[in-house]
Amino acid sequence: MWTYWQREFAEHGRASYAIDLRGHGASDPLDLSRTSIWDYVDDVANLSSQFKGSPVVMGWSMRGHVAVLAAARGGFSACVAFDPDPPAATVDDSVALDYGVQQPQEIGYAVEGDPALLGASMPGLDLEELRIAQSSLCGESLMMASERKRGIVVETMPCPLLEVIGGYDDDYLDEPGYHDIGMADHQIMVSESSHWGLVLDRRVLAQLMPQVLEWLSVTAGPDS
């Protein structure tokens, strides 16, 4: 998912590392049916602990939420979250924890065949970008999804937080974001970007990258 972003970071002299969370990408196969979002936060924390300094943590969608939760634990110089779950004021214990794995086909994504068929759900992406999106699709933990539905309260944010939101997706605009409640230092709204476009649309990247780099240089330092 971060192919284009990592290429641009490298061209600007910044090292970046894309982590495959447990059971995802090239990591070992794993039954995710009882995987908690906190397991993913642990994965990020375990990687970050290997750095000499305090890295910047970035994430998108569910991983954006993971990035926020990891940053809230401390140890990071900054956090950049793309379309993360909106902040929760309370935990709704009436929402039962679910167990199992949800496949991408169950929510309308085709993992095989012509990637162009994904275009309706990923507006703005060209065929190459759609191929990358399709290759990233995999099963996901229902336990983690139900934890997110319950709500996860973030009490404090010990490092600067940048919230990036795409304008095509009403789901991310209906509720106050981290910037609205004063927890994010800055928010960037890309009105012409879809949810997937924030990380895979190269035209959106050309617009976003200078803003993200400037924010990082000011808040986390030029070598972050």
pLDDT at 96: 96
Backbone angles phi, psi at 138, to 5 degrees: -160, 170
Give the angle 50-71-201 at the CA atoms, nearest 5°. Answer: 95
Q: What's domain 3-219's architecture? A: 3-Layer(aba) Sandwich (3.40)
Q: How many CB atoms lie within 10 A of CB 117?
A: 13
Q: What angle do CA 87, 104, 65 make, to 5 degrees?
A: 20
Q: Record the pTM.
A: 0.94
**Residue 209: per-residue pLDDT:** 97
Task: State the Cα–Cα distance between residues 32 and 138, nearest whole angstrom.
Answer: 11
Residue corresponding to tokens 């997706």: 169
Alpha helices for 50-195 (secondary structure H): 62-73, 127-136, 142-150
The pLDDT, as a whole number, for residue 183 is 96
Query: Cβ distance 77 to 221 under 8 Å?
Result: yes
Give me the pLDDT at residue 169, please: 64
Query: Under 8 Å CB-to-CB from 170, ≥6 apart: which residues?
Result: none
- Spell out, as residue ranges, where the chain has pLDDT lower than 70: 169-173, 222-224
In angstroms, the CA 98 to CA 37 distance is: 13
Per-residue pLDDT, 25: 87
Place of tokens 């400037």: 214
Give the helix/strand (H/E) hosting 60: strand 56-60
